[in-house]
Amino acid sequence: MCGRFALYSPYPKLSRALPLPLESGEPAPRYNVAPGTWITTVRHPRDDAPLVIDAVWWGYRPHWAKEKAPEPINATVEKVATSNYFRGAFAHQRCLVPADGWYEWLLVDGKKQPHFLCREDREPIWLAGIWSERPDGKPGCAILTEPARGVAEEIHSRMPLALDAESLEPWLDPHLTDRETIRHVVHHLPAERITHWPVSTRVNWPANDDAGLIKRQ
C-alpha cells in the first residue's frame, strides 16, 4: 500500500519532468504526508483545461457515491480499470502525485520498523493516481498500488505505482481512455532505481514533520 510519503522538492525541480505552470509561491516541505490531508497533484481539471499543479484531498469518494461509501486512499492496478468505483476516473481523470519518497513498515522481532524508499539518484518520484469530484464538490484522489518490485519487496508486498519519465504525459492525457492502450504506453519506474533505509519511528505520528524523519537510523 501507500499510506505515507514525503514531498520536499521545490516546483522548479518538479518542472524538469513536466511542463508545469510554476506557482508564485512554494509550498512548505512535507516529510510526513498522511491520508485525509490536502496533497499536491498534477492533473487536467477538465478534458479541455491546461495542466495544473494543485491541492487534492487524499481520499477518493466520487460525487455519485452514497454517504457511507468507502473513501480509499489507494486503488490497485489489478482492479482500477474494471471496478465500478474506479473505472470512470481511470479512463478520464488520472493524475500524478509527486513525491520524494514513501514510507513502509517492516516487521522486525515483533515490532514495525519504518523504512524510507526513494530513488537512488534522489530525483522526485511520480506516483500514478486517479481523482474525482467528491460529494462536497472538491477533488479527491487515490494513489495506485502494484505488487512490490526489487528492493521494495523486502519491506512490503505492495508499493505505489511509480512511473518512468516517458509515461508521465500519456498518463495525464484525458483523451487517452482505452485500457489496453494505456497499458501499452504507460510503464513503471525500473525497480533497480529504488533504494531504502530504516528511519525513526517518529514517523508513526503524523504530527511529526521534519527533515530528521528521513535520516538513516
Q: Which residues are catalytic?
A: 2, 104
Q: Where are the beta strands (DSSP E) in the chain?
A: 5-7, 30-33, 38-43, 52-58, 74-76, 94-99, 101-108, 111-119, 125-133, 139-147, 158-160, 194-198
The helix/strand/coil state of 92 is helix
Contact 8, 29 (CB under 8 A): yes
Residue 17 Ramachandran class (φ > 0 left, ψ -120 to 50 alpha, else beta): alpha
| DSSP conformation class of 6 | E
Rg (CA), the chain: 17
How crowded is the C-beta side of 171, counted as CA atoms within 13 Å? 26
